[in-house]
Structure 1
């Protein structure tokens, strides 16, 4: 028969309340009593019931994660960071794939509310006013990962996407490229696509290069096929380009595939640069030069920020911006 908290209290010769305090607020218990309880727990191999712990704290030790596309390789690494942080803090995760569908997201929020999750991480998508009203209605602690909100006071963890777009084109310019195109995501997506494109255009202008938006920018999506199709359109309107910056690694690989299928050598004739530094960046030839964002750390930090919000009702830093860096591989050639 499994030992109970009553058995621990009896062996340690203390009250059940004291045992509970040792497990949940040990600093409130005198050292001698604390040692007696810990010794009894070890001797009996007692494992506190998760439901009992939840009743003490009025928590379920469960967190929800709302993500837009679970098939995206970026999400896998982000969730891994969250999972590791959750396990370290004795929390469990419920992963919900919204498919960027408002009704589906609201449905998942209802489920998470019914499950009495202690908090939610909302990933990648913008926080539109109607989304915010739904979040307010459920009044569950909320943290944003790989997105942010300047309109609402919601804690967040991400990178500076506008500066990252600038740094990408600056790198290509310093490699001797002047005719540079960009394959971006949606033309109305304000978290990643628009800021990275704005940074790209700012970089061209700051180096005195022609910034013809209609010619050098091609929109699409974030997946391989999107990059493939966007590259086919871009090269038709900008045939003399020498370098392409794609705002996601998977898109960059699609662009490389199109170029190689059409007899255009990468990087000898056209250099290609990606974004994210997912594991895909090293699974192709040439290996992908890319802007690396700390995806795992982003998930890890967002989850820990959520736990701080649950524990203390506040966070040390409302909007956290992590550093990015450029990883040089073989897909960009220096022009002499």
Structure 2
């Protein structure tokens, strides 16, 4: 049987208002009264309803995070960082899986408005106009994580995708590779598609290597299947490549798996570098060399920024996080 605030008040022989003041630290009662109320709460095992408390103090201490794919390793690492901060703040987080679906996203935003959440972290997707208008009408802060928008003045936390892709490709060049293919995400994706393609091209140009469009294959997404299905396409168009830059670790592992099916040895016949530094990369055979973005730190930074905005009402400055190469065993030196 679950007990109510009325049961606590009866047990402690005080008013419901007094119990409420104790729960919310509002004062106006003696130490003895506080001890009686806390003793009654403990004895009854009373759990105050967060939303009911929020109606009293106008705070729910709840934020929301929206992912396009909540079950991915990418999302899990960002969520871990967010939850670290949420627990430090004594708050809670509602996790929403939008599946990159506009209707579902709008339904979630309506639900979050009804739940009186205090802020939103929006992850790894384009912030559409209808999303922005919905959040604006809620009059709560929003922080973008692993994404950004040029249209609206909103703070974001992410790596520089173009620069990180440049770093990955230049790493291959420094290992002696000249004929480098790329399997990208959707080339029209302004967040992780187009910028990573441009970083790939810039690294070639800066090292006096001609950009050949046949060496670039764009996929629909960034998953294992996208890498697995598109390696044969890339090899058909560019059979002379010695290395592949895959725009995500999941894609890179898909490339390695497809190479195994084709009898291509990694890295003896073909070198592969990924992007993200997900745990999956350490599990692949061979272990995947990758350009790492600090996903857990991105989650922590986004959450810290959001709570600061909630408390102060001030807009935070955007943050570009560092990236680095993680060397493992999927790239061969050609010197």
Scaled by the length of structure 1, what TM-score is found?
Answer: 0.86
Q: How many residues align?
A: 322
1:18-33 map, 5 Å: 23=25
DSSP 3-state at the match of 2:106:
helix
Measured after TM superposition, the shift of residue 19 of structure 1 is 6.0
Structure 1 residues 307 and 288: alpha-carbon distance in aligned structure 2, compared to 1, 3 A threshold: same
1:10-25 map, 5 Å: 23=25
User: Could you tell me whether the CA contact under 8 Å between 1:166 and 1:199 is conserved in 2?
Assistant: yes
1:189-268 map, 5 Å: 189-212=189-212, 214-220=213-219, 221-268=221-268
* 2:326 corresponds to 1:331: no
1:34-53 map, 5 Å: 44=39, 49=48, 50-51=50-51, 53=53
DSSP 3-state at the match of 2:328:
coil
Measured after TM superposition, the shift of residue 291 of structure 1 is 0.6
**Distance in 2 between residues matched to 1:279 and 1:159, nearest whole Å:** 19
Q: Deviations over 1:236-258 (max 9, x none)?
A: 11101001010100000000111
DSSP 3-state at the match of 2:157:
strand
* 2:115 corresponds to 1:115: yes
Q: Deviations over 1:178-227 (max 9, x none)?
A: 10011110111111111111111000000000111x21111112111110
Structure 1 residues 62 and 43: alpha-carbon distance in aligned structure 2, compared to 1, 3 A threshold: closer
**Distance in 1 between residues matched to 2:40 and 2:83, nearest whole Å:** 27
Scaled by the length of structure 2, what TM-score is found?
Answer: 0.87
Structure 1 residues 78 and 17: alpha-carbon distance in aligned structure 2, compared to 1, 3 A threshold: closer
Measured after TM superposition, the shift of residue 18 of structure 1 is 8.8
Measured after TM superposition, the shift of residue 137 of structure 1 is 2.6
Measured after TM superposition, the shift of residue 96 of structure 1 is 1.2
1:40-79 map, 5 Å: 44=39, 49=48, 50-51=50-51, 53-79=53-79
User: Could you tell me whether the CA contact under 8 Å between 1:182 and 1:244 is conserved in 2?
Assistant: yes
**Distance in 1 between residues matched to 2:73 and 2:310, nearest whole Å:** 29
Instruction: Give the equivalent residue in structure 1 for 2:319.
Output: 320
Q: Mean Cα displacement is larger for which, 321-330 or 51-60?
A: 51-60
User: Could you tell me whether the CA contact under 8 Å between 1:153 and 1:318 is conserved in 2?
Assistant: no
User: Could you tell me whether the CA contact under 8 Å between 1:148 and 1:319 is conserved in 2?
Assistant: no
DSSP 3-state at the match of 1:133:
helix
Measured after TM superposition, the shift of residue 20 of structure 1 is 7.4
**Distance in 2 between residues matched to 1:298 and 1:252, nearest whole Å:** 22
**Distance in 2 between residues matched to 1:286 and 1:70, nearest whole Å:** 27
Measured after TM superposition, the shift of residue 42 of structure 1 is 11
* 2:132 corresponds to 1:104: no
User: Could you tell me whether the CA contact under 8 Å between 2:8 and 2:19 is conserved in 1?
Assistant: no
Instruction: Give the equivalent residue in structure 1 for 2:308.
Output: 308
Structure 1 residues 45 and 219: alpha-carbon distance in aligned structure 2, compared to 1, 3 A threshold: farther
User: Could you tell me whether the CA contact under 8 Å between 2:22 and 2:37 is conserved in 1?
Assistant: no
DSSP 3-state at the match of 1:259:
helix
Structure 1 residues 124 and 41: alpha-carbon distance in aligned structure 2, compared to 1, 3 A threshold: farther
Q: Deviations over 1:110-157 (max 9, x none)?
A: 111111111111111112333322322332321111111122111211
**Distance in 1 between residues matched to 2:241 and 2:20, nearest whole Å:** 72
Structure 1 residues 237 and 311: alpha-carbon distance in aligned structure 2, compared to 1, 3 A threshold: same
**Distance in 2 between residues matched to 1:18 and 1:91, nearest whole Å:** 19
Unaligned runs of 5+ in 2: none
**Distance in 1 between residues matched to 2:312 and 2:207, nearest whole Å:** 47
Measured after TM superposition, the shift of residue 40 of structure 1 is 5.0
Measured after TM superposition, the shift of residue 263 of structure 1 is 1.1
Structure 1 residues 281 and 88: alpha-carbon distance in aligned structure 2, compared to 1, 3 A threshold: same
